[in-house]
Amino acid sequence: MKILIVEDNRELSETLVHYLKQEGYLCETAYNYQSAEEKINIYAYDVIVLDITLPDGSGLEILKQLKQKRPDEGVLIISAKNALDDKLTGLNLGADDYLTKPFHLAELNARIQSLLRRKRFNGSHEITVGDLRLNTATAQVFINEHEIILTRKEYELLLYFLSNRNRILNKEAIAEHLWGDNIDMADSFDFIYTHIKNLRKKIASYGSASNIKSVYGMGYKFVTE
């Protein structure tokens, strides 16, 4: 899952990135209002961890812009302000949760996981489609109750498809979701085809039909209908 951390304290931001990457998230950062505004206008995220006190603007304004563009995007506010008015304002603008600094990293992770379950998986750790079952808590995938061993990118790719079932995903969206800002340095998106081919092959090797379909000239779709 891809997370944007909007936090002007670089030491705290780096600590969050280091911890969340260890937990399996792809993290991007914005240290000020301008950078955060640019990122939310270009990219989509599973969760945005948002400090509402930024040196060049208000995080609440970022929240307002985001909810106008993508109202379903998850937002967790982190702030040193513990005032009831700030909490109510953030929640009324569409934030999903509010965490007061200082906080334990484990609590932040638990809040993020809870938010993801509510937003993407109807409150569950598991996604089941036919004979395929994916557990987001353990990062395991099973076909007919046999565990299928995937690389990290293959797992992230499958989770992305399952999170967007029956929706066409083009190569650019897939690449940007899996590699974040680093994708700007890529010469082409041919490697996406390689990852999808390997994922399909592994699924088929366990006797399951692949639900990942090519949509000519448009991209790929994980079909459940």
State pLDDT tens for residues 49-90: 999 889 998 989 999 999 888 888 889 999 876 666 777 888
Highest mean pLDDT: which range of 19-28, 141-150, 188-197? 141-150
Tokens representing residue 93 in the block: 């603008």
Q: Distance (Å, rounded) from C-alpha 60 to C-alpha 200?
A: 42
* Residues of each domain in the chain carrying CATH 1.10.10.10: 126-222
Q: What architecture does CATH give domain 2-121?
A: 3-Layer(aba) Sandwich (3.40)
Checking if the pLDDT of 31 tops 90, the result is yes
What residue type is 114 in one-letter code?
A: S
Residues 6+ apart with CB under 8 A from 10: 31
What value does the mean pLDDT of the chain take?
85
Checking if the pLDDT of 180 tops 80, the result is no
Reported as a pLDDT band with limits 50, 70 and 90, residue 182 is low
* 89-147 tens-digit pLDDT: 888 888 988 988 888 998 998 888 888 877 766 666 788 888 899 988 788 999 988 99
Q: Distance (Å, rounded) from C-alpha 195 to C-alpha 122?
A: 28
- Provide the pLDDT for residue 69: 86
Taking alpha carbons only, the member of 183, 222, 219 closest to residue 199 is 222
Q: Distance (Å, rounded) from C-alpha 146 to C-alpha 133?
A: 10
Reported as a pLDDT band with limits 50, 70 and 90, residue 181 is low
Quickly count: other Cβ atoms within 10 Å of residue 222's Cβ. Answer: 20
| Percentage above 70 pLDDT, the chain | 92
Reported as a pLDDT band with limits 50, 70 and 90, residue 150 is very high
Taking alpha carbons only, the member of 96, 85, 31, 30 closest to residue 63 is 96
Contact 67, 60 (CB under 8 A): no
- Provide the pLDDT for residue 184: 58
The alpha carbon of residue 18 and the mean position of all alpha carbons in its chain are separated, in whole angstroms, by: 16
Checking if the pLDDT of 185 tops 60, the result is no
Tokens representing residue 58 in the block: 């208000």
- Provide the pLDDT for residue 16: 95
Checking if the pLDDT of 196 tops 70, the result is yes
Checking if the pLDDT of 190 tops 60, the result is yes
Q: Distance (Å, rounded) from C-alpha 29 to C-alpha 44?
A: 13
Reported as a pLDDT band with limits 50, 70 and 90, residue 187 is low
Report yes or no on whether pTM surpasses 0.75: no
Lowest mean pLDDT among 35-44, 75-84, 192-201: 75-84
Contact 214, 197 (CB under 8 A): no
Reported as a pLDDT band with limits 50, 70 and 90, residue 201 is very high
Contact 158, 210 (CB under 8 A): no
Q: Give the fold, CATH level 3, of 126-222.
A: Arc Repressor Mutant, subunit A (1.10.10)
What residue type is 196 in one-letter code?
A: I
